[in-house]
Structure 1
Amino acid sequence: MKTRQRDRGAPEPQAPWNEVRPQLWQGGHFWTGPDGEVQTAVVGTEFDLVISLFTRPGHGPHPGVDHLISEIPDGPLTAEQLHSVQQLAVTAAEAVRNDRTVLVRCHSGYNRSGLVAAQTLIELGQDPATAIALIRQSRSPWALNNQTFEQYLRTGLDVAYLLAGLETPS
């Protein structure tokens, strides 16, 4: 399964991960270091829970860290994938409420992680526009450059889930 849409013109982020709000971080597997070279972001024990929407061997987290994996594409999602995003966001919000540090990550930390992190903010009481703005302010202006994901958030994942469930395979 192809999970990442290539090159929307977005540069690699300038940090492996960024704090979106206390206890909630958004990041990726790759970032550009101060020397301009692409670096790998390897998670150790910095976080209590890591949610990976893209994975690569050797990128962590440490075996003792809770790690949830749900590889989803950086494109239109099925009803099942939208349901997974909802469940991950509920889990992340619960962890944040319990004062646990959470990292939501994907390849570069822009779209898939942005979708789950923004939905986590919504679960924590933010409205969609504020959640989207906070993701872009905290991670990068390039975060949530996937307009489909932004629409899912603005419409509401419950509605997006129902609409995606109506699609019939051809």
Structure 2
Amino acid sequence: MRTRQRDRDVPAPRSPWNQIRLGLWMGGHYFTDDSGELQFAVVADQFDMVVSLYSKDGHGPAVGVEHHVATMPDGPLNAGQIARVQELAAVTAQAITNGRNVLVRCHAGYNRSGLVAAQALIHLGYDARSAILLIRRKRSPWALHNRTFELYLETGLDLAHLLVGLES
């Protein structure tokens, strides 16, 4: 399964992860340092829980850190993948409510992680537009530049799940 699109005229993130709000962090598997060099973002035990929508060996987290992995494309999702996003967002929101620090990550830390993080924010009381804008302000203006994911959030993942399921 291809999990990363090749149309990346998007700049690499400038940090491995960013705090979106108390308890919620968003990031990727690589970033560029101050000199512009590509660096790998490796998670150790900085977070209580890590949600990975893209996974690469050697990028953590450390043994003992709760880790949820759900590889999916950075493009249109099927009904099962949308359901998995909903599950991960609910687990993320619950962990934050319980005072835990959660990192949601994907390849660059823009789209797939943005989808799960935004849905977690919606579970925590944000409306979709506010969640999207907060993520763009805190992570990067490039976060959630996948218009399909933005539409899923604005439509509501429950309805998006039903509509996509009709196409199957």
Is the shorter-chain TM-score for this pair beyond 0.5, marking a shared fold? yes
**Aligned residue for 2:113?**
113
Q: Which amino acid aligns with 1:61?
A: P
The 3-state SS of whatever aligns with 1:108 is coil
The superposition leaves residues 92-146 of structure 1 with CA deviations (integer Å, 9 ceiling, x where unpaired) of 0000000000000000000000000000000000000000000100100000010
- 2:80 paired with 1:80: yes
Task: Return structure 1 stretches of 4+ with deviation > 6 angstroms.
Answer: none
Q: Report the Cα distance in structure 2 between the residues aligned to 1:37 and 1:96, rounded to whole angstroms.
A: 33
The superposition leaves residues 45-91 of structure 1 with CA deviations (integer Å, 9 ceiling, x where unpaired) of 00000000000000000011000000010000000000000000000
Q: Which amino acid aligns with 1:122?
A: I
**Aligned residue for 1:70?**
70
The 3-state SS of whatever aligns with 2:14 is coil
Give the TM-score normalised by structure 2: 0.99
Aligned pairs for 1:28-67 within 5 A: 28-67=28-67
Number of residue pairs the alignment of both structures matches: 168
Give the TM-score normalised by structure 1: 0.98
The gaps in structure 2 that reach 5 residues or longer are none
1:7 deviates by 2.9
The gaps in structure 1 that reach 5 residues or longer are none
Aligned identity (percent) is 60
Q: Report the Cα distance in structure 2 between the residues aligned to 1:116 and 1:140, rounded to whole angstroms.
A: 16
Q: Tell me how large the CA RMSD over aligned residues is.
A: 0.6
1:8 deviates by 3.5
The 3-state SS of whatever aligns with 1:72 is coil
**Aligned residue for 2:22?**
22
